[in-house]
A = this chain, B = another copy of it.
Amino acid sequence: MTNATTNELTIDAPEGVPWIDYTREFDAPVAAVFDAHRDPDLVRQWLGPNGHEMGIEGWDFATGGSYRYTHRSDGAEYGFHGLFHTIRDDELVIQTFEFEGMPDEVAIEFLWFDDLGDGRCRLRGRSVGRTVEGRDAMVASGMERGMREGYERLEALVGSAPTAPAGAGGGAS
């Protein structure tokens, strides 16, 4: 079932804890959404807010691998890096995450990929920071907008509406 209205990003940052929970569904197979996290040529096209140029300096998407990327806009450059603690295809990513503008404030991020059947899937994320204050600063920095815009571009990339086979009239005839 295609129902774009259910594909809203939901963010929950409960008071007094250092984590952020988020979830979003996609009208795309779980393998396609996972691949858009694995392949740096795809990642570059969707990760982060609109209007930034993304540069990927390293993307070793494997258990034990590392990554670093930058976002540039209006002459400013922001760097991010981390390590992939666990990669389980089409299922789970556990990684560290450091925004280099807040050195040593490293978060650990869990990202589950749920196959919903019918060519749909759900991302569920938890990002756990070192402190509640750091988590609050992340939320205040406009993180939600960046995630929302990024996931909208991801959905466009992996195909927001399943394409009917050429000549198909629809229906289960």
Contact = CB atoms under 8 A, between A and B. Distances in A.
A16 B19 contact: no
A82 B85 CA distance: 7
A129 B130 CA distance: 10
A128 B108 contact: yes
Contact of A86 (B94, B104, B129): B104
A31 interface: no
A66 interface: yes
A108 B110 contact: no
Number of copies: 2
23 contacts: A16-B16, A16-B17, A17-B17, A17-B132, A19-B130, A64-B66, A82-B85, A83-B83, A85-B96, A85-B98, A86-B98, A86-B104, A86-B106, A92-B104, A94-B104, A94-B106, A96-B96, A104-B110, A107-B108, A108-B108, A108-B130, A128-B129, A128-B130
A18 B20 CA distance: 13
Interface string A118-140: 00000000101110100000000
Contacts of A106: 85-86, 94, 108, 110
Consensus secondary structure, chain A interface: strand
* A-B complex: 10 closest residue pairs judged by Cβ atoms: A108-B108, A83-B83, A85-B96, A64-B66, A94-B106, A85-B106, A83-B85, A128-B128, A17-B17, A106-B108
Nearest to A14: B16
Interface in A72-114: 82-83, 85-86, 92, 94, 96, 98, 104, 106-108, 110
Contacts of A94: 96, 104, 106
